[in-house]
A and B are shown apart, each in its own frame.
Chain A
């Protein structure tokens, strides 16, 4: 029997035949061994917000800048007014302690 010829035919068959494991089809073949789809957290689908129609009406950019500047100035003023002058108090306390020590 010509075993050489039959072996050659089987080798040719292996290269020309193009079948794949059914396991890959049934289980879903991974694109890469390094990937792990279970590590990826599933995100909720994008939806429109319920108050989409209640959004504020856009204003001019210039007005917005001016408004912001005014607010900043007001805060600075308030800080300047509201800050108590503690330097004199500290001095007087220090003086009184020193006087008591002297006595």
Chain B
């Protein structure tokens, strides 16, 4: 019982909750704009726009079908991945646990939308000279950050092992 409510567990939970809440607040803000003005198409500057688009597939708009069966299968896979990440967090003893926590926080934010709205709202559009990157959300930023850090950690670990 004491182990479950240890300082480390509370910090872990706090990190996940913090990322989840930042993502939720940003999405609620965008949805409130949608409710008030009927659409979300805000140009902040020449690089950054806010355009709301709903994604019912996975990353990069893949597996975006109308069939609910495929959607349910994808959601089940994502739930399984989240459980696996929790397992990895518990098992990890180095800094990679924090990177997994960042990924988990973002992932739970998207999973909540998948279950509540049956689709994930994406709204951050970055463009340069007419070229648009994929529209993403705040949770995606954290997932990307966590995955990049995990890949770097893996590469650094490999380098360290080779040096020894």
Interface residues of A (CB under 8 A from B): 1-2, 5-6, 9-10, 12-26, 29, 32
Q: Give every chain B residue within 8 A of A13 (Cβ-Cβ).
A: 59, 143-144, 147
Please determine whether A16 and B53 come into contact, CB atoms closer than 8 angstroms: no
Interface residues of B (CB under 8 A from A): 51-55, 57-62, 64, 66, 74, 77-78, 81, 85, 103, 106-107, 110, 113, 120, 122, 125, 127, 132-137, 139-140, 143-144, 147, 150-151, 154-155, 158
Q: Give every chain B residue within 8 A of A32 (Cβ-Cβ).
A: 66
- Assembly CA distance A14 to B110 (angstroms): 13
CB distance from B82 to the nearest CB of A (A): 8
- The secondary-structure label for the interface of chain A is helix
Given the known inter-chain contacts A5-B154, A9-B147, A12-B147, please indicate yes or no for A18 contacting B103, CB distance below 8 A: no
Q: Give every chain A residue within 8 A of B144 (Cβ-Cβ).
A: 13, 17
Please determine whether B135 and A19 come into contact, CB atoms closer than 8 angstroms: yes
Q: Give every chain A residue within 8 A of B135 (Cβ-Cβ).
A: 19-22, 25
Please determine whether B158 and A2 come into contact, CB atoms closer than 8 angstroms: yes
B107 to chain A: closest residue by CB: A16
CB distance from A66 to the nearest CB of B (A): 55
Please determine whether A19 and B122 come into contact, CB atoms closer than 8 angstroms: yes
